[in-house]
């Protein structure tokens, strides 16, 4: 459902529920909604309530997504892969609960900062891959928190993160 302008008419839960009863099943595990400029917090909360078994959610390049993603993570307990790339307003600061199954998180080209990385490090300790490419507001301190608490982390993309130096000490910490 990429490039479909979903969310343009608003998200009346009843309207989406009746539509989804005929189109898809609540057992759906993968949902690709990238590049929908009208997709907003209200709409993704409705989808999260309809599809609690989601394992993969791609809402990249959806500029109206902000704190609603926290509710998605709260409701979709099986989510393993979340793509929020190019969602400039995404806000995970309200995530004060564990997201134990989340393994892949793409936050590239967002405006997240060290405070967000701290929340992620506490809530998403099972991460295997974290993509932070072009996150200009993060620093080595925030990255260090993620590396310290996300002990399963195998890959972290810091390409073009201007405030994170290619420091040998940081990589030594990650290896050990």
Q: List, for residues 86-134, the tens digit of each pLDDT value.
A: 999 999 999 999 999 999 999 999 999 999 999 999 999 999 999 999 9
Is the pLDDT reported for residue 7 higher than 90? Answer: no
Give the strand order in the sheet containing 81-83. 30-32, 56-58, 81-83, 104-106, 129-131, 155-157
Please give the helix or strand (H or E) that residue 116 lies within, else none.
Answer: helix 114-123
Other CB atoms within 10 A of residue 148 CB: 12
Q: How confident is the model at residue 14 (pLDDT cuts 50, 70, 90)?
A: very low
What pTM did the predictor assign?
A: 0.85
Domains, the chain: 13-175 (3.80.10.10)
55 near 28, Cβ under 8 Å?
A: no
Q: How far is CA 47 from CA 20, 62, 173, in A?
A: 9, 15, 39
CA-CA distance, 86 to 62, in Å (whole number)?
7
């Amino acid at each position: 459902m990429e490039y479909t302008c979903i969310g343009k008419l608003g998200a009346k839960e009843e309207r989406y529920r009746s539509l989804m009863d005929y189109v898809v099943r609540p057992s759906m595990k993968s949902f690709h909604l990238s590049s929908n400029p009208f997709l907003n917090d209200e709409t993704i909360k409705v989808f999260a309530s309809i599809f609690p078994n989601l394992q993969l959610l791609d809402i990249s390049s959806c500029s109206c997504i902000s704190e609603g993603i926290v509710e998605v993570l709260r409701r979709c307990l099986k989510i393993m892969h979340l793509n929020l790339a190019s969602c400039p307003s995404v806000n995970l600061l309200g995530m004060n609960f564990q997201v134990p199954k989340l393994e892949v998180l793409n936050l590239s080209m967002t405006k997240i900062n060290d405070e967000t990385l701290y929340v992620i490090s506490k809530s998403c300790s099972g991460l295997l891959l974290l993509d932070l490419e072009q996150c200009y507001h993060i620093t080595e301190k925030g990255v260090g928190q993620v590396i310290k608490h996300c002990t399963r982390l195998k890959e972290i993309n810091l390409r073009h993160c201007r405030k994170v130096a290619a420091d040998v000490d940081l990589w030594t910490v990650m290896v050990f």
